[in-house]
Amino acid sequence: MTEPATTAIGIDIGGTGIKGAIVDVLTGELLTERIKKATPEGGEPEDIVATVKELIAELGDVPDGTPVGVCFPAVVEHGKTMSAANVSKNWIGLEAEKLFEQHLGVDITFVNDADAAGVAEAHFGAAKDVQGLVIMTTLGTGIGSALIYDGVLVPNSELGHMDIGGRRDFEKRASYAAKERGRLSWTRWSVRLQAFYSQLEKLLWPDLFIVGGGVSKHHKHFLPLLKLRTPIVPAALRNNAGIMGAAALAAHAAARTGDSTTGDLLAKTEDKD
């Protein structure tokens, strides 16, 4: 039996910044100061790996065997990045998990950034102890999403890419970037959000919506304007969600062969025919 890890390193890679910390995966508490570094210009894989290596070194004396989780703005299938947002296109089709493992010399759990944030909110934040289907959405440059059912992640949902009338993705019309581009008022933007969340209700019948992204701190300006049957709340963990979720998923992956107090965090879709 593998003893479940109670601490793990969480790394959150974004288009402009890379953040990391050591996390208590039972409580979600950051046990070290959060370190942030600028994402290297161009976002090339080798440069980002080198920056992550520097960041981990700055976390101090990390015990051998500490799980490492990395979240990244891409669809991630079995450790391979199948898309790339605000980073080099050289990530597309890259065996990213293996690349990090080769350079860092440890096993890595590599996941989508919205999925990591969703796991964090489900286990430590706004959806803690919520049963049924929770849909996390992040409103930023695009619209990220995570599906959590009874605390278990169903990975790689891309709900922001649902079509509107077969012509445009919702994220091109309803992301926060679309609001800024169009200089939309909160009221006009909420009309677009209403269409997006109503469609999700129609298709998935969730028990809770969580809204993340930087704009979530202004939730009082737009969430009350939405008329939904599903409760909708702002994310609780803000900038630490990716770090916390990546760490929790890494700890779970490290203990899959034994009894894990972190619980079953990831739907084992790879075991299905």
Instruction: Note the pTM of the prediction, 2 decimals.
Output: 0.88
Superfamily of domain 126-236: ATPase, nucleotide binding domain (3.30.420.40)
Return the beta strands (E) in the chain as ranges: 7-13, 17-24, 35-38, 68-72, 76-77, 80-81, 108-112, 133-139, 143-149, 152-154, 163-164, 168-169, 208-212, 232-234
How many other C-beta atoms are found inside a 10 Å radius of the C-beta of residue 202? Answer: 8
Terminal Cα distance for the chain, rounded? 27
**Would you state the pLDDT for residue 139?**
94
Q: How confident is the model at residue 15 (pLDDT cuts 50, 70, 90)?
A: confident
Q: Give span(s): CATH 3.30.420.40, the chain.
A: 7-112, 126-236
- What class is the 7-112 domain? alpha beta
Q: Give me 216's structure tokens.
A: 């979530």
pLDDT in tens, 124-175: 999 999 999 999 999 998 899 999 999 999 999 999 998 877 667 899 999 9
